[in-house]
A and B are shown apart, each in its own frame.
Chain A
C-alpha cells in the first residue's frame, strides 16, 4: 500500500550514449527555464502596487469618529490595560461647554499615544474597546520608521481624518451591548 502516488521506481540500467552526454537532461532543464518566461509574474511591485491583505488584516491604528464627526474615544483605558506590549498611554480630560461637536462623551482623550515599536498588532485594543473607537485598519500598514522619534504616534496621526474615513465591512463582528444602535459595519 502506498501513502502517496509520488513514489518513483528507479532502475540501475545502462545509460545510452545520449544519456551519458546528458543531452535529454540539458534539454529538459532548458525547457523548464523557457517555460517560466511565459508564465504570469507572481512578484508585486511594492510600494507602487499594493496587495489586498484581506478583510481582517491588522494594520495602522485609527481612532474612529462617529457619524457626526465626534471622537468616539472616552479614554477609558481598557485598550491600555489589555495591551500585552503596554504600547498605549493616554491622558483623559473633561469636555468643556462648546466642545460637544468634537467629543461624543463627557470625557475624552486629551493625549492618546501608541508606541509603534512596542505594538505587536495583536488587535486586543480593538477587541477591548467598549466604544468602538480604536481600530486596526485592514487596508493600511504602519510605514517604515526612519527616525526613532517618529515611532510614538499621537492623536494627530491616529484620529481618523474627516476626508479619509475608515469603513470596515465585516458583518460578522457583533456590537457591544452598551450601544445597541451602533453597528461596526457602519461609519
Chain B
C-alpha cells in the first residue's frame, strides 16, 4: 500500500473542468459542477443502487475518451452509467447532437404517456413535465391510440396509473432496497410491460409510500391526496417529528391551515435521501404532530412558488416600521448663516411661509 489516497481524475464537461474520484459517473461529475451542466435524469436515482440506464434522458457525447485514448466515443453514452476517465471531455448542452437526441427521447417517452396533466396529481412537480418542457417539442406527431391498461387497485394508500408509467424501475428498486419484501414488479414484456402485483395484492409495507416520491411521473400517487389540490396552490413547509421507524424529516404541504399531504424532503436533484415511513406519510396529518422548521425553499422558476406571498411582506405598516428603525437624527453642526436662504429677511417668506416670521415657541 504505497498510496491510500485515490488519484483524482479531471473531467471537462461543457468546458468546465472538475476533479472527481475514480468510479464516479459522468452524471455525478456534472452534478458536482451544478444544475446548469447536469444532464436530466428520469430513471437514475442516486440513493437507489442499480438505478439508471433505462430512460436515455441523460445521453451525452464524449468528445474525448481519456488522455491516453483521446478518440471520441462513437455513440452518445448514458451519463448515469458511464464512469469517468482522466482527461475525458464531455459535451452536454453544447452539442447540438445531444440536444437533438434529447428531443427524440422526449418524444419516445411521451408516445404512450396519456398527457392528462390537467387531471394528474403529479403535475407541477413532475420530472417528465420538466424534461419535456426543457427539451421537447410543443406538439406531438403521434396519432395512434395510446396503450391502455386495466385499472388495478394496489391498496388504500397508493394509486397506480399504469398509463402514465415510463418504466423507469425506480419503484422496483425502492421496494427492493428500502422495504423488506417487494410485492410489486414489472410484469409482461415490451409494449405490454406494466407495474403490478401479479396476484391482486395490496402494497402495505411500512415504507411502501416511498414509491410515490420516487416515481418521476404520476404513475404512483398518494391516494389520500388524490384530487385534493394542485401542487402550486399548496404551501410546502419543512417539519420533523420523533418517529421510531424513520428519520421523521418531511415536507408538509398546506392548504390554508390544513396539512393535505406529507412527502419526504427532496434535494435539488428532486431525490429523496431520507425515506419516511407510512405512518409519517399517511397517518400524521395534523400540525400538532409536527415541529415546523420553516418554509421549504422552492426555486423561483418553479410553478410551486407561483402566487405565494409571505405574510410579513404584506403588512402596510412595514414601511413605517422600517423608517422608524432606520431613522438617524442628523447632527448638523455646520455654519448655516452663510446659506443664502437664511440671509433673506423673514418678511420675504411671509406670504408662503408664515412660520418664518413668527419665531417658534
Residue numbers of A with Cβ under 8 A of B are 74-78, 80-81, 86, 92-94, 105-107, 130-131, 177-178, 180
Contacts and interface: CB of A to CB of B under 8 A. Distances in A.
A98 to B, nearest CB: 17
Nearest to A106: B119
B306 A92 contact: no
Contact of A94 (B143, B227, B303, B306): B227
B139 A77 contact: no
A76 B307 contact: no
Interface stretch (B50-58, B228-236, B291-299): B228-236
Interface of chain B: mostly helix, strand, loop or mixed: loop
A77 B232 contact: yes
B59 interface: no
Interface string B151-181: 0000000000000000000000000000000
A130 B118 CA distance: 7
A105 B230 CA distance: 16
Contact of B115 (A75, A107, A178): A178
A76 B117 contact: yes
Contacts of A106: 116, 119
A81 B118 contact: no
B119 A76 contact: yes
Nearest to B139: A177
Contact of A74 (B118, B139, B143, B232): B118
B95 to A, nearest CB: 28
Contact of B303 (A74, A81, A93, A180): A81
A92 B118 contact: no
A94 B227 CA distance: 7
A177 B230 CA distance: 22
Contacts of A177: 115, 138-140
B118 A80 contact: no
B226 interface: yes
Interface residues of B, number: 20
A145 to B, nearest CB: 25
Nearest to B121: A107
A76 B116 CA distance: 10
Nearest to A129: B118
Given A80-B233, A93-B227, A177-B140, A74 B307 contact: no
Contact of B307 (A81, A93, A131): A81
A105 B119 contact: yes
B233 to A, nearest CB: 6
Contacts of B226: 94
Contacts of A81: 230, 232-233, 303, 306-307
A139 B72 CA distance: 64
A92 B115 contact: no
Contacts of A92: 227-230
A76 B233 CA distance: 11
A131 B118 contact: yes
B176 to A, nearest CB: 31
Contacts of B140: 177
B123 interface: yes
Contacts of B119: 74, 76, 105-107
A180 B123 CA distance: 21
Contacts of A130: 117-118
A101 B28 CA distance: 51
Nearest to B227: A92
Interface string B128-151: 000000000011100100000000
The 8 A-B pairs with the shortest beta carbon distances in the complex, nearest first, are A76-B118, A77-B230, A92-B227, A177-B139, A74-B118, A107-B119, A107-B227, A130-B118
